[in-house]
Structure 1
Amino acid sequence: MKRHRSIGRSPALAVVLGLSGSLVAVPAAADGPRASQVRWGACPEDVVAEAAPTELRCATVPVPVDYADPGGARIDLMISRLASTNPEERRGTLMLNPGGPGGAGLAQAALLVARGLPADVLDSYDLIGMDTRGIGHSAPVTCGFTPDGPYTSNIPPYAADDTAVTEQAKTAEKVAEQCARQDRDGRLRHLTTANTARDLDRIRAELGEEKTSYLGYSYGTALGAAYASMFPERSDRIVLDSNIGDTHLDRDGLRRYALGMEQTFPDFAKWAAARHDSYGLGRTPAQVRATYLTLAERLDKAPVAGFDGSLLRQYTFGLLFKKLQYPKLAQQWQALADGDDTAARRMPSQSATAGEATSSIDNPLAVFAAVTCNDIKWPANVDTYRNGVAEDRTRYPLFGAATANITPCAFWPHTPAEPPVAVNDDGPRNVLLVQNLRDPATPHLGGRMLRQKFADRSRLLSVDDSGHGAYVLGDNPCALNTTTRYLVEGAMPGKDTLCRAG
């Protein structure tokens, strides 16, 4: 192994097809390797600013809107490149995805560099970031969402009772109708994980690569799992960090957010209890938990500075993504518990969940809704959600009545044109699954689920840490070194491995 740059703690990277029948006519893969067809040039100004001081180059790759009609309408996808720093050691391309769905990724290479991506990796690969279809600079879609509208989060609001589920159902139906009205060119229904995986293969071919490696976080694990399953012979070294457990996010996956919060919250409670003299949230972890539940119920009845109980729960969930955010969370609790409107207003009013911390909520939330609703059919019966909320309110008291609540997918105007991508365990052993033991959005169960589905194609690297994102985004030396060794040398662990806290 060569030198590694130091790792710093940081926030996680941000957080329907209406055709009948399946896409049996879709080509299995893009054209084979050839000379690169990509013409690199300057990146858009916003990408340059986000990536600074790292300099990236950008280009566009045309892809079909509808892979069942490859000669029909096309859109341009924008990709970025951070070229290998040592061409003599370059072994190929490493495609990146930050998650979402709905996360812009053109500047991701620069963000990983800033967080300490090892120099070995920078030598070995051209890092390829991208805005996937529908996002940012890649034919962006819209549903017309606004910060003061009824839909400002990809997670439903906490439902305190059955009436709240009924009210949320009305909102969810209006949101689905709004997206349908805004979809004037019919592109929204073609946003699926399978189509995005096909896009990755088109990009690989345009870059002139026989194979591509891949590093994806959060929802990016679903996309990477889909690519490795659809194109096993084109996948090189695949790293999936913070796994949702499948190639798509379904209702069960969304409900697992509540499990993740239950498993991650004790780390914050222990931290806050050790600082009781500073924040006064409880002298023991159990007292901190009681403070949360009591404060949420109080805010349900009497909000402070616009914070009701639902927003407190969502805000807390979002700030559990990184331990570095614990002081901010404790300060907000303190202000709300004291009824201090002025102090509470100094804090952000939006939760920091994955894919939401953007200057405009419309595009990322439209993509999140489209992909999750298009990939798989969600239950349409409101009673199904009402029963789930009641179950999870008891099973996962911290957040279960939010993540089990009804979403626009229950009323989505398009039905899936093909089944979700099935995980393919018939291929090379090239999938390294990286998973914190305690993760609010993607609990460790997601890694175990995908490990079982990929079978001998994969190995699971578990990390005794808390938060969303382990490789580079965390600070565990074992996770850093093991994953880097695989990307650079191809040294896959011989068995599932636990990286102890360090």
Structure 2
Amino acid sequence: MTTYSRRAPRTLLLALSAAAVASTLSAVPAATAATAVPTLTWEPCASTGGPTDQECAELPVPLDYRYPGGRQLTLAVSRLRSDRPEARRGTLLVIAGGPGSSGVQRLTQKAAALRKEMKGAYDIVSLDPRGVGGSTTASCGLDEGDRDLVTLRSWPAPDGGIADNLARSRRVADACARNGGAVLRSFTTANEVRDIDRFRQALGEEKLSAWGISYGTYVGAVYAQKFPRHTDRWVLDSSGDPDPSRVARGWLANMSAGADSRFPDFAAWAADPAREDAGLRLARRPEDVRAVVLGLAAELDRRPKASDRPGRPLTGNRLRQALQGALYSDSAFPQVARLIQQAQDPAATPVLTPDIAGALSDQVAAVTMGVVCNDVRWPAAPASSYARAVAADRVRYPLTAGMPVNVTPCAFWKGAPVEKPTRITGRGPSNILMVQSLRDPSTPYFGALRMREALGDRARLVTVEHGGHGVYLGNGNACGDREVTRFLTTGVRPGRDTYCAD
């Protein structure tokens, strides 16, 4: 079994640094591309509920890789050393989703489960991408009302109108252009990939293994495309369609069908007699749950109900957003069922679920919009085009009410993307394992099949007969977990695409 050294000779690292950076920059003079590998100073950073031996450091990265000696940003990075050094074979990178999710936090949350599965095979590391958590952030200076998930997601008005969405999208784009500066413009997938490779160099590793989740699968796929010789065992968990002409615009649009495919799982759960004692049974038959939810959302459109948060009533769109979020995991079903019951009870005050209970921070809103708008040009289609798309989508997929195809700030984003999105291909080593839920509300199965097709013989796909978003160590399928663990610890993948029953 191959072992990769923790600390290669300094001269080798300098050579790798120059070669890796130069290979990613098509228009950079060679003389400006060579920079010294940064040194990481690790310090204890254990948090409540996390591993006691977690360490953190700061990684400097260029604001603009065309000018690697220029202004530097700082990324928060974290690691857990192997608890069985004699079994260690390399370093496993956890790539969080989003855009906007913290890798450091994800590492803390999954540390115990990962260590149990890996049995000392890896040091486990992660980072907060630009704009996230402990890394350098940016701000758009948005009012609180424009940072609500229900407004950032562009849910149409109760009658399907999009006038407010258009006005808000222009306002957010203008504010980000005015206040975000060069730091916000640097929030791209391409730069996250370069930052990951700089992290690899600083760790002294020739290769990394990785577990990318959700948007992290796209980051992982782009890294594997750009730096194939630095990939060891690569896991893509819950992938979207990598179409370079659409990228995040396509992922968002696909959520309509994703929610529709996943909802029957919630309906079956909410109609089960086992929900009766907890007061969470919404209907006698699964086929009746959809009517209950849609009818309640329409009623809340007409008459929002005061909630436990002053000034933040439960509206139809807040209910729809809460449902959309709850479809990610069976474990969230009880809280949204309870919200539905409270909304139906004249004597009850609805307790809003965390995702709809408050606004995002300005920094989180900035990176969430920044990456998806900076990665690819979104069409500046006329308002009538968006209105038609919303009207059609509302009819076909009423659970999401036209939100996934509605206008966003990206339609009015200032400045063209600096780079073209990477086209994912089958060129490179065959060392990728994809794992995918059959009924994923965020990255639906048909989108993952497009990633699988793009990767060709580089990948194998494990399809899990389950619903939810994020499979490995997340949605409770022992077969899927076993396949991923076996690959990461032994290098053995299924000989062909395979299926795991629930």
Which residue matches 1:211? 207
Distance 1:256 1:239, change over 3 A: same
> What is the one-letter code of the residue matched to 2:456?
A
* 1:490 match: 491
Q: What is the alpha-carbon distance in structure 2 between the residues aligned to residue 127 and residue 78 of structure 1?
A: 15
Unaligned segments of structure 2, at least 5 residues: 1-23, 307-312
- List runs of 5+ in structure 1 lacking aligned partners: 1-21
Shift of 1:216: 1.1
The answer to whether 1:236 aligns with 2:232 is: yes
Partner in structure 1 of residue 125 of structure 2: 128
Q: Which among 65, 76, 84 is matched to residue 82 of structure 2?
A: 84
Counterparts of 2:486 and 2:110, CA distance in 1: 17
CA RMSD of aligned residues (A): 2.4
Q: 2:353 aligns with which of 332, 348, 352?
A: 348
How many angstroms apart in 1 are the aligned matches of 2:421 and 2:214?
Answer: 17
Paired residue for 1:329? 336
Q: Is the Cα contact below 8 Å between 1:145 and 1:151 reproduced in 2?
A: no
| Larger RCO (alpha carbons 8 Å, 6+ apart) | 1
Residue 257 of structure 1 is aligned with which of 244, 255, 258? 255
1:398 is matched with 399
Q: Give, in angstroms, the shift of residue 497 of structure 1.
A: 0.7
Task: List aligned pairs for 1:453-468, cutoff 5 A.
Answer: 453-468=454-469
Kept in 2: contact 1:80–1:107 (CA 8 A): no
* Alpha carbons of structure 1 residues 35 and 132: separation in structure 2 relative to 1, 3 Å: closer
Please give the alpha-carbon distance, in whole angstroms, between the structure 1 residues aligned to 2:315 and 2:323: 12
Q: SS of 1:481's equivalent? A: helix
TM-score of the aligned structures, taking structure 1 as reference length: 0.87
1:63 aligns with one of 43, 61, 64? 61
Cα distance in 2, alignment partners of residues 27 and 60 from structure 1: 28
More divergent stretch after superposition (365-374 vs 330-339) = 330-339
Contact 1:172 1:411 in 2 (8 A): yes
The amino acid that maps onto 1:85 is: D
CA distance in 1, matches of 2:164, 2:407: 10
What are the equivalent positions in structure 2 for 1:174-253 lying under 5 Å apart?
174-184=171-181, 186-246=182-242, 249-253=247-251
Show the counterpart of 2:438. 437
Partner of 1:172: 169
For residues 317 and 181 of structure 1, do their structure 2 counterparts lie closer, same or farther at Cα, with a shift above 3 Å needed?
A: same
**How far off its partner does 1:120 sit?**
4.4
For 2:419 and 2:38, the matched residues in 1 are separated by 31
How many residues align? The count is 465
Distance in 1, Cα, partners of 2:230 & 2:28: 17
Identity of aligned residues (%): 40
CA shift for structure 1 position 298: 0.9
Q: CA deviation at 1:132?
A: 0.8
1:316 matched residue in structure 2: 323
Per-residue deviation, residues 14-71 of structure 1 (Å, max 9, x unmatched):
xxxxxxxx9522599x989x9983221133xxxx335534431111221111112222
Q: Deviations over 1:477-496 (max 9, x none)?
A: 11111100000111011111
Identify which range, 103-112 or 206-215, moves more after superposition.
103-112
SS in 2 for 1:107: helix
The CA distance in 2 between the partners of 1:76 and 1:287, in whole Å, is: 52
The residue correspondences of 1:81-120 to structure 2 (distance < 5 A) are: 81-114=79-112, 116-117=113-114, 119-120=116-117
CA displacement at 1:130 relative to structure 2: 0.9
Q: What SS is found at the alignment partner of 2:154?
A: coil
Native 8 Å contact 1:156 1:407 kept in 2? yes
> Offset of 1:110 from its aligned partner?
2.5
Please give the alpha-carbon distance, in whole angstroms, between the structure 2 residues aligned to 1:279 and 1:123: 42
Separation in structure 2 between the aligned mates of residue 60 and residue 482 of structure 1, nearest angstrom: 34
CA distance in 1, matches of 2:230, 2:419: 22
- Residue 20 of structure 2 corresponds to none
Report the 3-state secondary structure (helix = DSSP H, G, I; strand = E; otherwise coil) of the residue aligned with 1:171. helix
Q: Deviation string for 1:134-168 (max 9, x for gaps)?
A: 21211111123454446445422144445x21221
Aligned to 1:16: none
Give the AA of the match of 1:348.
Answer: T
Question: After superposition, what is the alpha-carbon deviation per residue over 1:442-471, rounded to whole angstroms, capped at 9, x for unaligned?
Answer: 111222110000010011111111111110
Pick closer, same or farther for the CA change 1:474–1:362 going to 2, 3 Å.
Answer: same
Find the aligned partners of 2:157 and 2:497 in 1 and give their Cα distance: 39
- TM-score normalized by structure 2? 0.87
